């Protein structure tokens, strides 16, 4: 059996997606549990890591899909109150605070992570939609299907008022169809560029004529609908719904979606071959485009939990900040955080364009690197910042961490995919010389945030 991965695309796909088993080289330890929990969520506390180590990875993953009912009820009350107060302000920007609060405090980490995935996939920008109510409703739609039925999600999104406004479907009339939504449905949401023709775009746009919004709701206007037959992807269709089904039946669709899931959870680089993705695509197709099965397969796989997989992803701004906050049980000023996330390239509800965030190396440039370090610097120093409700000193004492080396070891295990080197350790020690207590640890965290490893998941 192969245990050492060198080249991703040399891997036997039959091997890669089998359930991972611990071995001498790859034990089920704190670092690996931390890898699984941050990729499938954002960050994990020491006690969450300890709890995970009491189970097998498969049990941990099953559990991620099962959290519901009583455990979430209280949180949902809190969250919907926050949503109401944010909506009342009338600004879509404030909604981001509501979502950051969810990511930070919802017991369903994977659900929030996948909702973020779909937000990037069905990217819709509030700068054009304007109405926060509609943005919130779309977010709820994405969450409803995030771990479930992709087919239902696409049908839902095609009639989602925020999406209709964003891609100009609202004004798609019989006489002159508007191609915007039709194009992106195929190019970015379902099939990928190069697998359909310009004629398909024009025909598909005809199918959606008359899909309008009335008082914030979807409405079909038969007077503006072109009811002629359309040739789409080699088949005759008439209605928008049947056209969506036709797009959903495209043979490239399972590959297009699992490829994105692969990059979101496993690694930024290199690009996987279709051969490597085949078992995932087959499962997604045979599950009738239900997401949970293929997601479980990815998360519990030999590839996902291998040593190779460590440090293969650049943290997104949200992963970086929410991950750090969860690991150190931080609560803080989320309005500030929301502004800073925008500065470093990930404003929730304001993706850069309909393609969403590219991720990987695209997160990184001179500005965002300085911005990431500044974000952590300010977060750690903000008056409102608390660690499990108290001061940093008290929190560290509870963790039985009293000196810098112990902190670095603990931090490396739980938050860094690549441990800091001896040379870096020496330089860090030098730069905090003469400082002690709270101030020293704050300084150290700020310096860590400017290191290359801090950016890797």
Partner 1 sequence: MKTTNATRRKFLGGSFAASAGLAIGSPVPGPWMRALASGVSNSERILVVIQLSGGNDGLNTVIPYSSDEYRKARPKLAIAKNDVLKIDSDLGLHPSLGGASKLLEQGRMSIVQGVGYKSPNRSHFESMDIWHTCSRKEERGSEGWLGRWIGSQSSVKQTDSLGLHLGSEQQPLALAARGVQVPSIASIDQFRLKVADDTQVGDTMLPESNQDLKQMNDDDELLGFLQASTESAIAASKRLEKALKKPDTQSEFPQSGLGEKLRVISRLILAGLSTRVYYVTLDGFDTHSQQPVAHAGLLRQWGDALNAFVQRMERAGQADRILVMTFSEFGRRVQENASEGTDHGAAAPVFFAGCPLSKPLVGSLPSLTDLEDGDLKFHTDFRSVYATVVKNWFEEKSDRVLGESFPTLNLFS
- Residues contributing to the site for partner 1 (CB under 8 A): 6, 167-168, 170-180, 183, 187, 193-194, 198, 201, 268-269, 310-312, 314, 343, 345, 352-353, 355, 358, 361-362, 364-371, 373-374, 377-378, 418-419, 421, 423-424, 426-428, 430-432, 443, 446-447, 449-453, 455-456
Nearer to partner 1, 253 or 373 (CB): 373
Q: Which is nearer to partner 1, 55 or 173 (CB)?
A: 173
Q: Which is nearer to partner 1, 105 or 195 (CB)?
A: 195
Q: Are 251 and 233 in contact (CB under 8 A)?
A: no
Give 401-405 contacts, CB < 8 A, sequence gap 24+.
404/428, 404/429, 404/432, 404/440, 404/441, 404/444
State in angstroms the smallest separation of the CB of 304 from partner 1: 17
Minimum distance from residue 34 beta carbon to partner 1 (Å)? 17
Q: In this complex, which beta carbon is closest to partner 1, that of residue 45 or of residue 446?
A: 446
**Nearest approach, Cβ of residue 328 and partner 1 (Å):** 17
Q: Tokens standing for 430? A: 């030098």
Please, what is the minimum distance in Å from the beta carbon of residue 179 to partner 1? 5
Q: Least CB distance from residue 312 to partner 1, whole Å?
A: 7
Torsion of CA 90, 92, 98, 103, to 10 degrees: 170
Q: Which runs of consecutive H residues, i.e. helices, occur in 27-91? A: 30-39, 46-53, 57-66, 70-88
| Comparison of 69 and 434: residue with beta carbon closer to partner 1 | 434
Q: Tell me, what DSSP letter sits at residue 186?
A: I
User: CB neighbours of 409 closer than 8 A, spacing ≥ 6?
Assistant: none
* φ and ψ of 19, to 5 deg: -60, 140
Of 84 and 418, the one with the shorter C-beta distance to partner 1 is 418
What whole-number distance in Å separates Cα of residue 122 and Cα of residue 116? 10
Taking CA 363 as the corner, what is the angle to CA 357 and CA 368, rounded to the nearest 5 degrees? 130
CB 84 within 8 A of CB 94: no
Instruction: List helix spans (H) across 89-223.
Output: 92-105, 109-121, 126-129, 132-145, 150-158, 161-166, 180-184, 198-207
CB of 255 to partner 1, least distance (A): 16
The smaller minimum CB distance to partner 1, of residues 192 and 279, is found at: 192
Around Cβ 301, how many Cβ atoms within 10 Å? 22
Question: What DSSP line would sit under 402-446, residue for residue?
Answer: -SHHHHHHHHHHHH-SSPPPHHHHHHHHHHTTT--HHHHHHHHHH
Considering the complex, what minimum distance in angstroms separates the CB of residue 431 from partner 1? 4
Min separation Cβ 214 and partner 1, Å = 17
Q: Coil, strand, or helix at residue 271?
A: coil
Nearest distance from C-beta of residue 398 to partner 1, angstroms: 26
Name which of 145 and 454 has its Cβ closer to partner 1. 454
Report the nearest approach of partner 1 to the CB of residue 178 (Å). 5
Tokens of 435: 């400082």
Question: Is the Cβ of residue 275 or residue 426 nearer to partner 1 in the bound state?
Answer: 426
Beta bridge partners of 386: 331
Nearer to partner 1, 114 or 380 (CB): 380
Of 285 and 451, nearer to partner 1 (C-beta) is: 451
Using CB atoms within 10 A of its CB, is residue 23 exposed (0-12), middle (13-18) or buried (19+)? exposed
- C-alpha–C-alpha distance, residues 150 and 169, integer Å: 21
Least distance (Å) from partner 1 to the CB of residue 406? 19
CB count, 10 Å around CB of 440? Answer: 16
């Amino acid at each position: 059996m192969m245990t050492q991965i060198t080249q991703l695309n040399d891997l036997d796909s039959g091997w890669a997606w089998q359930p991972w088993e611990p071995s001498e080289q790859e034990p089920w330890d704190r670092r690996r549990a931390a890898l699984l929990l941050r990729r499938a969520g954002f960050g994990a506390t020491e006690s969450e890591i300890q709890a995970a180590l009491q189970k097998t990875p498969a049990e941990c993953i099953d559990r991620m899909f099962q959290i519901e009912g009583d455990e979430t009820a209280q949180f949902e009350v809190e969250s919907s109150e926050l949503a109401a107060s944010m909506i009342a302000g009338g600004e879509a920007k404030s909604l981001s605070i509501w979502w950051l609060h969810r990511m930070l405090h919802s017991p369903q980490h994977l659900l929030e992570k996948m909702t973020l995935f779909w937000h990037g996939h069905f990217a819709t920008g509030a700068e054009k939609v304007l109405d926060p109510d509609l943005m919130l409703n779309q977010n709820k739609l994405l969450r409803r299907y995030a771990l479930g039925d992709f087919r239902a999600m696409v049908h839902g999104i095609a009639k989602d008022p925020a999406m209709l406004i964003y891609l100009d479907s609202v004004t798609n009339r019989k006489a002159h169809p508007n191609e915007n939504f039709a194009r992106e449905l195929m190019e970015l949401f379902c099939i990928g560029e190069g697998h359909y023709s310009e004629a398909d775009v024009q025909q598909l746009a005809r199918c959606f004529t008359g899909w309008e919004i009335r008082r914030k709701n979807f409405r079909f206007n038969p007077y503006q609908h072109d009811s002629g037959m359309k040739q789409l992807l080699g088949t005759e269709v008439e209605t928008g719904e049947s056209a969506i089904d036709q797009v959903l039946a495209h043979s490239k669709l399972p590959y297009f979606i699992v490829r994105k899931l692969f990059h979101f959870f496993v690694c930024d680089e290199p690009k996987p071959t279709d051969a490597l993705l085949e078992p995932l695509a087959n499962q997604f197709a045979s599950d009738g485009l239900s997401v949970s099965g293929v997601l479980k397969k990815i998360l519990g796989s030999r590839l996902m939990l291998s040593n190779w997989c460590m440090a293969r992803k650049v943290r997104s701004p949200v992963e970086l900040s929410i991950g750090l906050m969860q690991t150190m049980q931080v609560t803080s000023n989320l309005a500030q955080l929301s502004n800073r996330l925008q500065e470093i390239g990930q404003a929730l509800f304001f993706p850069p364009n309909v393609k969403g965030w590219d991720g990987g190396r695209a997160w990184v440039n001179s500005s965002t690197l300085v911005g990431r370090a500044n974000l952590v610097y300010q977060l750690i120093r903000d008056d409102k910042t608390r660690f499990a409700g108290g001061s940093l000193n008290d929190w560290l004492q509870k963790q039985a961490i009293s000196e810098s080396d112990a902190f670095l070891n603990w931090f490396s295990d739980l938050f860094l995919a690549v441990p800091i080197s001896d040379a870096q350790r020496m330089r860090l020690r030098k730069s905090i010389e003469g400082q002690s207590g709270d101030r020293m640890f704050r300084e150290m965290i700020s310096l860590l945030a400017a290191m290359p490893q801090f950016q890797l998941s």
